[in-house]
Amino acid sequence: MTFNVPDVADVTGSVKSALLAINEAKDLAGLKIVKTEHLGDKSALSKASQALGKLAAENRAELGKVVGSAKAEVTAAFEAKLKELEIIRDLKVLSEERVDVSLPASKLPKGGLHPLTILTNEISDLFIGLGYRVAEGPELEAEWLNFDALNIPADHPARTMQDTFFIEPLESKLVLRTHTSPVQIRTMLENKPPIYVICPGRTYRADELDATHTPVFSQVEGLVIDRGITMADLKGTLDYFAQSIFGPNVKTRLRPSFFPFTEPSAEVDFFFNGRWIEWGGCGMVNPKVLEVCGIDTSEFSGFAFGMGLERTLMVRHGITDMHDIVEGDVRFTRSFGISGR
Ligand code: DAH
């Protein structure tokens, strides 16, 4: 609507339609559109104001009053509606975004250490208490360190394809370590005696996963090199170890055995819940191994031992299926507590 010559009836009509539109606005967005339409520069009322200039002076004053009060009326109605819609919007936001502070928080379950980790920490702590260090080595190991340096000759059954995961290309001479014993060699090559270390870690053999085997398992190795070390020291250490892990009255026994890297060698058993249970291997470090590592055998001797951690855990906790240890089901892990370290 254009007011070439504004007239009172037109202005009254504009006010009416503006008030109606304001009244019908449902929300702030709608009201904003109404404002542009009825109070904006291009609205009928603004155009009426602009057209006033074209009128003769005597008509201008009277019509000016009419247009002025029309604008004031529409503006007042707009302001009132704006306040009303703002209050409605605020109430809506308050009710929709209300936070019930009395609701219980959604809790994430606390994680827990795997029982093997707990056992490893426990063993590390008890040997650190005896003055040992914890030594580590890589799981991807040089064949030489895993076998040759430990006096395991090339035709030894442990080196056949059945047991060992060889890494391609075969010329790389790398294997997934089949035991933690290569860490003994690394430790002796890097440190001068006296040496007191344990080496916990993951080991690999080409076995099928079943109730008592897993291709990825864990061992802990012990190595002591010092002056005047004898088998009595080995036996005393194993007794202390077994009693710390299985209980104060647990006995150990040694049975003659063979390992290429120890001479003499023994199997260590412990007496638990009324029966003897095989635990691991041990012996006096073979002088050939000491020599490979540049240790003077006229001055130093040492003992070593190695046992499986899964087996230790299974016996101690009456776990009958290896799957429980490797599968990582939280229902199993949780039964060992969430404290750990
Ligand atoms: N390395 C042996 C194995 O994996 C275990 C072992 C036996 C470790 C005798 C030793 C040892 O340190 O003295 O079967």
For the chain, domain boundaries: 8-96, 115-334
Residue found by looking up tokens 């200039």 in the block: 53
- Alpha helices, DSSP H, located in the chain: 8-24, 28-39, 44-52, 57-96, 115-128, 143-146, 182-190, 231-246, 287-292, 309-317, 322-327, 330-334
Task: Specify whether the backbone of 328 is left (phi greater than 0), alpha (psi in -120 to 50) or beta.
Answer: left
Ligand 1 atom with the smallest distance to the CA of 150 is 1
Nearest alpha carbon to residue 188 among 301, 314, 84: 301
Report how far ligand 1's centroid is from the alpha carbon of 306 (Å).
4
CA separation for the pair 194, 188 (Å, rounded): 10
> 325 falls in which pLDDT band (50, 70, 90)?
very high
| Residue 72, CB-side half-sphere exposure with 13 Å CA sphere | 6
Ligand 1: which of 132, 150, 159, 181 to mutate, judged by most atoms within 8 Å of the beta carbon? 181
pLDDT at 225 over 60: yes
Please give the structure tokens belonging to residue 158: 């442990």
Q: Whose CA is nearest to atom 8 of ligand 1?
A: 306
> 190 falls in which pLDDT band (50, 70, 90)?
very high
The sign of the dihedral angle between the CA atoms of 113, 118, 120, 125 is positive
Give the rounded percent of residues in the chain with a pLDDT score beyond 70. Answer: 96
Report how far ligand 1's centroid is from the alpha carbon of 47 (Å).
101
> 341 falls in which pLDDT band (50, 70, 90)?
very low
Nearest alpha carbon to residue 1 among 37, 31, 27, 55: 37
Question: DSSP string spanning 109-165?
Answer: PPP---HHHHHHHHHHHHHHTTT-EE----SEEEHHHHTGGGT--TTSGGGSTTT--
Average of per-residue pLDDT values in the chain? 92
CA separation for the pair 268, 133 (Å, rounded): 22
Report how far ligand 1's centroid is from the alpha carbon of 296 (Å).
22
> 257 falls in which pLDDT band (50, 70, 90)?
very high
pLDDT at 94 over 50: yes
What pLDDT is stored for residue 59 in this prediction?
76
Average pLDDT value for residue range 239-268: 97
What pLDDT is stored for residue 340 in this prediction?
43
> 338 falls in which pLDDT band (50, 70, 90)?
low
Q: Whose CA is nearest to atom 12 of ligand 1?
A: 305
Ligand 1 atom with the smallest distance to the CA of 178 is 4
Average pLDDT value for residue range 132-140: 98
**Paired strand residues for 225:** 195, 302
Nearest alpha carbon to residue 244 among 129, 336, 114: 129
Ligand 1: which of 164, 183, 237, 259 to mutate, judged by most atoms within 8 Å of the beta carbon? 259
CB proximity list for 285: less than 8 A, separation 6 or greater: 184, 223, 225, 261, 262, 301, 302, 303, 304
Please give the structure tokens belonging to residue 246: 């299985």
Q: What does the pLDDT look like over 155-187, one tens digit per residue?
A: 888 787 668 999 999 999 999 999 999 999 999
pLDDT at 245 over 60: yes
**Paired strand residues for 302:** 225
Report how far ligand 1's centroid is from the alpha carbon of 97 (Å).
65
Report how far ligand 1's centroid is from the alpha carbon of 307 (Å).
7
Q: Whose CA is nearest to atom 3 of ligand 1?
A: 179
Q: Whose CA is nearest to atom 13 of ligand 1?
A: 282
Q: Does domain 115-334 have CATH number 3.30.930.10?
A: yes
Q: What does the pLDDT look like over 21-45, one tens digit per residue?
A: 999 999 999 999 999 999 999 998 8
Report how far ligand 1's centroid is from the alpha carbon of 285 (Å).
10
Distance of CA 123 to the CA centre of its chain: 24
